[in-house]
Amino acid sequence: MQRLARALTEVFSPTVVVSVFLLTTGAVSDGWRGFGFAMLAALFTAVGPFAGILLATRLGKVSDHHIGNRRQRLPVLLAAMVSGVLGLVILLLLGAPRVCIVGLLSVIFGMVLVGAVNTFWKLSVHVSVVTFAAVASVLTLGPGFLPALVIPAAVGWSRVKLGDHTTAQVLAGIPAGCIVAMAYAGFL
């Protein structure tokens, strides 16, 4: 069971989920053009910040690539937000499709929301992000994505099973993700 829990945690990590969500919604809404802009959005909101986390982990500045130590999360989230804002400016200047702009803004909003909670408590970022992606997919892409709603439960189980979060911290990620998803769907 530990192996399954670790696999779920890695496969549905925030970097992977944000990237896949942005790429999928970009491609579905605007074909290859949307996919290209979504790649740029993912670079600034997920891939680039994750590369920074890996470097910080290697240098001993953070505990691990999931940043299990809550006190280490705020500086990482702030750096990721700065990267996201830079990406937003570039997308706006290049005339990116609305779905890519709204997707990037939603990721930044999620970082602000989770960052605010994580200044005093350790909310599950994994569950928050996967809940956002699942709910936003159902709201904007249709009922064919309803099966995605079971993914947050599986990821939540994995985070508790691995001892990375308590049940309360996992459950708190659900409304955080729903808030961001509703904002995303509302601005499309």
In the chain, % of residues over pLDDT 90: 77
pLDDT at 64: 83
**Dihedral of CA 143/147/151/154: which sign?**
positive
pLDDT (average), residues 146-162: 98
**Amino acid 78: pLDDT:** 84
pLDDT in tens, 21-32: 999 999 999 999
With cut-offs at 50, 70 and 90, classify the pLDDT of residue 37: very high
- In the prediction, which pLDDT does 97 show? 97
Task: Write out pLDDT tens, residues 112-130.
Answer: 999 899 888 989 999 999 9
Question: End-to-end CA distance of the chain, in Å?
Answer: 39
pLDDT of amino acid 29: 93
- Helix/strand/coil (H, E, C) string of 159-183? HHHCCCCCHHHHHHHHHHHHHHHHH
- What does the radius of gyration of the chain's CA atoms come to, in whole angstroms? 16
Distance CA 141, CA 24 (A): 10
Contact 22, 42 (CB under 8 A): yes
The mean pLDDT of 133-140, rounded to a whole number, is 96
Beta-carbon contacts of 20 under 8 Å, excluding residues fewer than 6 positions away, are 133
pLDDT digits over 68-112, tens only?
787 787 788 888 889 999 999 999 999 999 999 999 999 999 999
Could you tell me the pTM of the whole model?
A: 0.92
- Express each pLDDT in 69-81 by its tens digit: 877 877 888 888 8
The pLDDT value recorded for residue 115 is 86
pLDDT at position 77 is 81
Whether the pLDDT of residue 163 is over 90: the answer is yes
Place 134 in a pLDDT band, splitting at 50, 70 and 90. Answer: very high
Query: Which letter does DSSP use for residue 144 in this model?
Result: G
**Could you tell me which of 84, 77, 131, 101 has the C-alpha nearest to residue 22?**
101
